[in-house]
Amino acid sequence: MSIILSGTALSTDLATIRNSSTPIDVFRAAVHRIGLHLAVETSRHIPSKEISVTTPIETTTCSVIDGRVVIVPILRAGLGLLDPFLTICPDASVGFIGLKRNEETLAPAEYYRNLPPSDSATTFIVIDPMLATGGSMTATLGLLRELPHQRIIAACLIAAPEGITRIQDEHPNVLIVSAALDRQLNDVGYIMPGLGDAGDRLFGTL
């Protein structure tokens, strides 16, 4: 299943990050705000449980997050979404997967992995701005699927139809939340219209 966000404030920020003339500080701030939209929508799909809470007036029942949340940014561009997700899920743990796409083959190569322990109540939220061929996301989902968990959610800024289809085929139980769904990939694996290379634009390595 996939959810594509909508809204005027969101699409205004998407226009900002797509614009190749946007300066890096403005780009980062817009990514942060879109990340908040994504984190709020993603949080609606974290499993919950009912607990009893005593207010100064009476005892009531409240719905709260069930189990541990582990946010997994795919290095390096996923770091651009980490802060907004931690704003919405402040007690989440953070696990790291470092992947770099080979620009010839488009296959991701892993260079780092550091994940906290998980159990059958854990929700993994994988964050990466770009879902292009889906190679980086499916590699990450493949290794998380082998770990104990309750739910896995993938969140991105911009998805290509090719990436969504690949995740739905290979990981049908994973919910995809994206701020935009673009037209298609070009012949070198970049999303059209996209925003270019997310890592380069976030970290000034253009």
Stretch that binds ligand URA, among 41-49, 54-62, 168-176, 190-198 (CB under 6 A): 190-198
**Is residue 194 involved in binding ligand URA (CB under 6 A)?**
yes
**Is residue 17 involved in binding ligand PRP (CB under 6 A)?**
no
Residue 117's CB: how many other CB atoms inside 10 A?
A: 11
Find the binding residues for ligand PRP in span 80-119 (CB under 6 A): 99-101, 106, 108
**Is residue 131 involved in binding ligand PRP (CB under 6 A)?**
yes
Among ligand PRP, ligand URA, none, what binds residue 80 when CB lies within 5 to 8 Å by partner kind? none
**Cα–Cα distance measured from residue 83 to residue 80, given in angstroms and rounded to the nearest whole number:** 7
Q: Would the CA dihedral through 108, 111, 116, 119 be positive or negative?
A: positive
Stretch that binds ligand URA, among 26-34, 36-44, 66-74, 193-201 (CB under 6 A): 193-201
**Cα–Cα distance measured from residue 90 to residue 192, given in angstroms and rounded to the nearest whole number:** 34
Find the binding residues for ligand PRP in span 27-86 (CB under 6 A): 74, 76-77
Contacts (Cβ under 8 Å, ≥6 apart) of 151: 45, 46, 47, 123, 124, 175
Paired tokens of 68: 């541990």
Nearest approach in angstroms of CB 108 to ligand PRP is 5
Nearest approach in angstroms of CB 65 to ligand URA is 31
The single residue among 97, 99, 191, 202 that binds ligand URA, judged by CB under 6 A, is 191
**Cα–Cα distance measured from residue 152 to residue 150, given in angstroms and rounded to the nearest whole number:** 7
DSSP 33-101: HHHHHHHHHHHTTS-EEEEEEE-SS-EEEEEEE-S-EEEEEEETTTHHHHHHHHHHSTT-EE-EEEEEE
The single residue among 124, 163, 176, 201 that binds ligand PRP, judged by CB under 6 A, is 163
User: Which residues here bind ligand PRP, judged by CB under 6 A?
Assistant: 74, 76-77, 99-101, 106, 108, 128-137, 163, 189, 198-199
Using CB under 6 A, list all residues that contact ligand URA.
130, 132, 190-191, 194, 197-199
